[in-house]
């Protein structure tokens, strides 16, 4: 799987027994599993955000998005050996020109490594003159480069950051839920540890009734314990934190946040619109980079390539806000009507 090149998935196989070492391994397994689930969820959202139209038959929009997710720049080059265009990762292969840009890039892939002139709408007629000092005349291939964002920062790092924050919060919720079932730290001896652990496992697995031998019951009664400080109120705080992290992650991806829609009804219209503006800006700057490539590629090669948002989240957000505002007006009218009576 191509994603394994970025992060190999370490899946544990068995955790029988209740030793401290195996319990720690199981906790590490659950930590990684939760992270993987959140990471892939956000990754799928980001990879599915844009839709390409009019690309050459030998290029695929899905592969372009995968390249831009993990690398700061991609390219579409015209290669006569393949009788068409190729969409590939690339890297700079020359010094800077007068616009502080690299006139020569190297398209790279499995068993592929070729230099090409990085053409744009404005440099196609002057690229040789503006690139003095480089060997651009020796480069026969032409192509155009694509950036995911203006600062050329791989989006995968942003996704990993939010995935870890969300996973950490979600695991904290799970730990608190478990601790609420047995909200004590139990002091044991080597003779009673296994028996007490089996009893706790039965509680943790939601067993309705727990049957133990009299000796185990006496061991539990005689064990010293202390409160862990875990309270049910902690769950409310953690769930609010989880929703906030999800909201920030989706905002960074340019996706309208539906998980906090119940809270939006209590926000002022200006506050909702301000947040929606931020959501739109985060999708717009990435779309702008793709549209800039389309302008360059169409001008250089005479094509009609387009890129757009796969789902118009901006329009959906506007509809949602209008519905929320209308709902607030109706509730306000009903309240005033009740007060007058």
Give 3-state DSSP helix, strand, coil % of the chain, rounded to 5: 55, 15, 30
- DSSP structure string for 163-222: HHHHHHHHHHHHHHHHHHHS-EEEE--HHHHHHHHHHHHHHHTT-S-----HHHHHHHHH
Final residue in a domain of this structure, among 124, 147, 170: 147
Amino acid 26: pLDDT: 76
Compute the distance between CA of residue 241 and CA of residue 257 in angstroms, rounded to an integer.
15
What pLDDT sits at residue 204?
59
Distances (CA, A) of 257 to 249, 250, 253, 310: 9, 6, 10, 17
Query: Two tokens at 297?
Result: 């590629």
Task: Judge if 90 and 42 occupy the same domain.
Answer: no
Predicted local confidence at residue 234, as pLDDT:
83
Does 196 reside within a domain?
yes
> Are residues 86 and 228 part of one domain?
no
Please indicate, yes or no, whether residues 84 and 142 belong to a single structural domain of this protein: yes
Residues 166 and 225 placed together within one structural domain of the fold = yes
Backbone angles phi, psi at 184, to 5 degrees: -140, 150
Domain that holds residue 208: 20-47+155-238
Q: CA 102, CA 92: separation in Å to the nearest integer?
A: 6
Judgement on whether residues 101 and 217 belong to the same structural domain of the protein: no
What gap in Å lies between CA 61 and CA 210, rounded to an integer?
Answer: 57
Mark which of 214, 238, 262 sits at the end of a domain: 238
- Asked if residue 226 belongs to a domain, the reply is yes
- Evaluate whether residue 332 is within a structural domain: no
Residues 258-285 as b or e (16 or more Cβ within 10 Å = b): eeeeeebeebeeeebeebbeebbebbee
Q: Has residue 103 been placed in a domain? A: yes
Same structural domain for residues 143 and 177? no
What does each of the 341 residues of the chain score in pLDDT, given as a tens digit?
345 544 444 444 444 445 556 667 777 888 889 999 999 999 999 999 999 999 999 999 999 999 999 998 999 999 999 999 999 999 999 888 888 889 899 999 999 999 999 999 888 777 666 655 556 667 789 999 999 999 999 999 999 999 999 999 999 898 888 777 766 666 666 766 776 676 666 655 555 556 666 766 666 666 555 555 667 788 899 999 999 999 999 999 988 775 454 455 555 555 555 567 788 889 899 999 999 999 999 999 999 999 999 876 556 555 666 666 676 667 666 665 656 55
Is residue 141 one of the residues assigned to a domain?
yes
pLDDT in tens, 199-212: 666 655 555 556 66
| Domain identity same for 191 and 142 | no
- Residue 111 belongs to a domain: yes
Assess contact for 22 and 15: CB atoms under 8 A: yes
Q: Indicate if 171 and 134 belong to the same structural domain.
A: no
Same domain, 231 and 164: yes
Helix runs in 17-144, H state only: 20-47, 61-70
Identify which of 4, 39, 9 has the alpha carbon closest to the alpha carbon of residue 163: 39
* In a shared domain, residues 202 and 79: no
Identify whether 202 is part of a domain: yes
Of how many residues is the chain composed?
A: 341
- Are 118 and 169 within one domain? no
Number of domains in the chain: 2
Instruction: Report the pLDDT value the prediction gives residue 233, as an integer from 0 to 100.
Output: 82
Query: Do 106 and 225 belong to one domain?
Result: no
Which residues are 113's β-sheet partners?
A: 108
Q: Is residue 288 part of a domain?
A: no
Query: Domain boundary at 122, 147, 172, which?
Result: 147
Spatial distance between the Cα atoms of 311 and 25, rounded to a whole number of angstroms:
41
């Amino acid at each position: 799987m191509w994603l394994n090149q970025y992060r190999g998935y370490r899946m544990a196989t068995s955790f029988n027994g209740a030793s401290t070492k195996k319990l720690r391994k199981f906790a590490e397994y659950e930590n990684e599993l939760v992270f993987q689930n959140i990471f892939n969820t956000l990754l799928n959202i980001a990879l599915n955000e844009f839709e390409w139209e009019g690309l050459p038959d030998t290029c695929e929009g899905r592969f372009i998005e995968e390249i831009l997710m993990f690398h700061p720049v991609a390219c579409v080059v015209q290669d006569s050996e393949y009788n068409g265009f190729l969409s590939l990762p690339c890297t700079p292969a020359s010094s800077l020109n007068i616009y502080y840009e690299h006139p020569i890039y190297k398209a790279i892939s499995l068993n592929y490594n070729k230099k090409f002139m990085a053409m744009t709408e404005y440099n196609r007629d002057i690229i040789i003159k503006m690139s003095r000092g480089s060997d651009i005349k020796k480069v026969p291939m032409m192509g155009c480069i694509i950036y995911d964002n203006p600062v050329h920062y791989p989006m995968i790092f942003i996704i990993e950051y939010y995935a870890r924050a969300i996973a950490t919060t979600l695991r904290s919720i799970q730990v608190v839920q478990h601790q609420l079932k047995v909200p004590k730290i139990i002091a044991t001896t080597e003779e009673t540890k296994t028996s007490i652990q089996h009893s706790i496992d039965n509680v943790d697995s939601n067993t309705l009734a727990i049957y133990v031998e009299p000796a185990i019951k006496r061991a539990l009664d005689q064990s010293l314990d202390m409160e862990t400080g875990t309270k049910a109120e902690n769950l409310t705080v953690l769930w609010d934190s989880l929703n906030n992290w999800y909201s920030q992650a989706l905002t960074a991806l340019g996706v309208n946040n539906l998980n906090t829609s119940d809270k939006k009804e209590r926000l002022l219209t200006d506050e909702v619109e301000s947040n929606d503006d931020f959501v739109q800006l985060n999708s717009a700057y990435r779309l702008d980079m793709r549209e800039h490539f389309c302008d360059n590629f169409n001008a250089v090669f005479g094509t009609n390539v387009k890129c757009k948002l796969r789902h118009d989240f901006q329009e959906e957000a506007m509809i949602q806000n209008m519905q929320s505002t209308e709902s607030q007006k109706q509730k306000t009218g009903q309240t005033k009507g009740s007060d007058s009576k």
